Amino acid sequence: MDATRKKPIHLWMSLGLFAVCLALPGYYVKEWHEPHMSLSLLLIGWLGPIDDHYSWFANVFFLIALLKYREPKFSSMFGFIALAFALSFLGHEKILIDGGGGHAWITAYGLGYVLWVASIGILSVGQYSLSIDKSEKVTGALLSGWVLLVLSIYSFHYFIGDNSQYSINVGRDSMFEEKCHISRMNVFKKTSDAKGIFIDPDWGASFKKGDTGNWQHAGVGKLGSSLVNSGLLLFYEKNIDRRRNSNIDNLPKYRRYELGDYKGIEADHLNSEYAVITKSFDIPKKYGMYGAEIVINDLRNEIIIATTSYLFDRIDRRFCGHAPNDRFSASGFIIDTMNLTKKYPSAYENQ
C-alpha cells in the first residue's frame, strides 16, 4: 500500500528525536548528579555486557527496524525488541564509569534517555499501526498517547522530590549565587618579610578558563614544599597529623620543613611570621560544588593581611573568585600578596 512505499511521518519523528537525544545527558551518576552524555554512551555502550548491561543493543534492533520500514509487521517486531532492551536500563542501580572497575549509583535519568526511548517507541507504535492497517487518525492518536505517557513519567521523575534533577539544579544555582557573592579577594596589607609560613592545611587548588569559556580544575598540590623548593621561603610549618599518631603521648604540635628535608623537624612552637589558613565552604555534596576561603594573617599580632575565596561548580563548569588572566591559584595568591621572590637556595638550581 502507499503508506509503505513512502517514508511515513512517524519515521521522521523517530529519527529526529534520536538525533536530538544525542546532544543531551543520558543519565546522571553520583550524589552530585554528574551527567553522562548520550553521544559518548552510544559510542562506548557496546561494552555494556562487561557490566551485565545490554540496553545499548536496542540501537542494533532499532537500526534493523528502520531499514525494514517498508515491511511494517517485521519492522514493528524489531522495534518492540529494541524498546525492551532500552527499558531494561531502568532495572540497574549502578553502572561502570571507568576502566578500573569503578561503579557509581545512577541518581537520575536524563532527557537524552527519555527521548531515546520515545524515539524507539514512536517507530514501534507507528509501524505496528501500519501493520494492522489503521487509519492516520488512529496512528496519530497512538503516537500522541505514547509521547504523552513518556513525557508525563519523566516530568514526575524530573520535578518531584528533594533529590530530583530539578531540585538539584535549582539548589545548585541558589548555592552558587550565595557563595559567589562572597568569593572575592581583599588585601589589607602587603608584606615582604616572610622567611617561614605556617600552612593549614598544606594544600592549594588552581583553576583556569578553557577556550570554550568553561572553567576547569587545573590541579591540587602541596603549597609549602613548592614555595620552599622554589627558593621563595626558607621553611614552612604545618600541623602534625594526630589521626595517624593518636596512640603517641606528648606528641609535638607542629612539623617544620626546610629545603631538602622531607621528614621535617618536630616542634612545639611556630617560628613562622605568617599563617595561611584554608577553610572549605560547607556545601552539600549533592550540588557538585566546592570552594574555600584562604586567610593570611600575621602571627606576631594576629592581624589579617589578606583573604580570598573561590567557588567551582564542576557540573556546569562555573567559577567565582579573583582570577586575573582567567586563572586562579592559591599559591599565586600567597606569592603576590606576600611579595615572595627568590631569596634562598632552590631545589631546581642544579637541574
Convert 110-123 to b/e letters by CB count within 10 Å (16 or more is b). Answer: bbbbbbbbbbbbbb
Is the CB of residue 330 less than 8 Å from the CB of residue 205?
Answer: yes
What pLDDT does 3 receive?
Answer: 43
Going edge to edge, which strands form the sheet with 204-209?
A: 215-221, 204-209, 327-329
What pLDDT does 351 receive?
Answer: 53
What pLDDT does 251 receive?
Answer: 74
What string of H, E and C letters represents the secondary structure of 171-200?
A: HHHHHHHHHHCCCCEEECCCCCCCCEEEEE
Query: Cα–Cα distance between 323 and 309 in angstroms, integer?
Result: 10
What pLDDT does 248 receive?
Answer: 57
Q: Copy the grid coordinates of residue 208.
A: 583556569
What pLDDT does 5 receive?
Answer: 53
Predicted TM-score (pTM) of this structure: 0.84
What pLDDT does 245 receive?
Answer: 56
Of residues 169, 172, 210, the one with CA closest to residue 311? 172
Q: Copy the grid coordinates of residue 319.
A: 567559577
Query: Cα–Cα distance between 250 and 182 in angstroms, integer?
Result: 40
Q: Which long-range contacts (CB under 8 A, 24 or more apart) does 261-267 make?
A: 266/240, 267/237
Helix or strand or coil: residue 35? strand
Q: Give tens-digit pLDDT for 12-32.
A: 999 999 999 999 999 999 989
What is the mean pLDDT of each successive set of 10 residues along the chain, which is 351 residues long? 64 96 96 94 93 95 96 96 97 85 91 97 94 84 94 95 92 93 90 95 95 93 93 95 62 90 90 96 94 96 95 95 93 95 83 53
Q: Give tens-digit pLDDT for 112-133.
A: 999 999 999 999 999 999 998 8
- Amino acid type, 319: F
What pLDDT does 135 receive?
Answer: 80
Which residue ranges make up each domain of the chain?
A: 2-160, 183-337
